[in-house]
Amino acid sequence: MKNFISIDDLSDFEKSVSEAIDLKNNSLKFNSLGKNKSLAMLFFNPSLRTRLSTQKAAQNLGFNTMVMNFNDEGWKLEFQNGVEMNGSSSEHVKEAASVISQYCDIIAIRAFASLNDKEADESELVINSFCKYSSVPIINMESATAHPLQALADAITIKEHKKTNRPKVVLTWAPHPKPLPHAVANSFVKMIKKINADFVISRPEGYHLNSKIEGQVNTTTDQEEALKNADFVYAKNWCSYKNYGKILKNDSSWKITSKKMNLTNNAKFMHCLPVRRNIIVSDSVIESPNSLVIQQARNRVYATQLILKKLIENE
């Protein structure tokens, strides 16, 4: 594996999930693998879990970490080629990526969707430019269209908590006051296709995902029907794809409540966090013993540890 940009970069997904669980059981086994090596983490957007779990994963493997927040600390980067740089951008990604590559052994990047321009977001300009102009491996810490570290952590969490070989998993849209990216949902869907699960997406009219992602998946606009017999309920908001970047409706009837969880097969509740309490999910559900949100966040460490290990071993 040269870079980790998508969940598809892992050649044997189920084996990778098992390997990550092995690392969780013995997290310091490879604690000198990263000796005298550095991981640079570049943030174009806020972070809590990603920043700290990635640093923790690196520490467990003996790496040094360097963190840079581009929005308030770095020069504003230019990503277009051939432009006269007389605007607000001070440095081109060509120089920035080459320079950073000399200081570290792996670069991890967070660069969210703009949600203004679908084509630009889907071109993944930021992460692809770093892949092109860096000379070290790149890790995606949530790009415009994908959040593969979250999906890998979610796969670990599902494997740890499933009671049947083929659990019923529901990904449900839930309301949110701000338009949010598709990255988490996209990578979750891609991941579910690689594991044994009976999967359905419930979302209101107008909230389908990119058909390249959602195609061949059961979908419904009837959330309560989808929740029946579910073993895992994964809630997430995303903005409209068709009417890109827009909120079409914010119907509080889509919130996950205890009453809705009663329709399920005593399902576990999942969310990637951060979560808007009592908008996406009621306090009673997120605080119930069936809530896995804290375990999901813990598993981000081992998901990232596996990816760092594979990249440094060039597996």
Residues at the site binding ligand SN0, with contacts judged by CB under 6 A: 178, 180-181, 183-184, 272, 274, 276
Q: What angle do CA 195, 196, 201 make, to 5 degrees?
A: 80
Residue closer to ligand SN0, measured from CB, 78 or 124: 124
- We find the least distance from the C-beta atom of residue 213 to ligand SN0, in angstroms, to be 15
Closest CB 280 distance from ligand SN0, rounded Å: 9
Cα separation, 279 vs 275, in Å, equals 9
CB-based closest residue to ligand SN0: 180
Closer CB to ligand SN0, residue 20 or residue 272?
272
Rank residues 104 and 272 by Cβ distance to ligand SN0 and give the closer one. 272
Q: Residue 119: helix, strand or coil by DSSP? A: helix
Give whichever of 168 and 300 is closer to ligand SN0, judged by the CB atom. 300
Nearest-angstrom CA–CA distance, 151 and 240: 21
**What residues have CB less than 8 Å from 123, skipping those under 6 apart?**
none
Q: Least distance in Å: CB of 274 to ligand SN0?
A: 5
Measured from the Cβ of residue 8, the count of other Cβ atoms closer than 10 Å reads 13
Please, which residue, 62 or 179, has the CB nearer to ligand SN0? Answer: 179
Other CB atoms within 10 Å distance of the CB of residue 84: 5
Say how far apart CA 110 and CA 97 lie, in whole Å. Answer: 14
We find the least distance from the C-beta atom of residue 175 to ligand SN0, in angstroms, to be 11
Report the chain's terminal Cα–Cα distance, integer Å.
6
Cα dihedral sign, 206-240-299-291: negative
Nearest distance from C-beta of residue 32 to ligand SN0, angstroms: 31
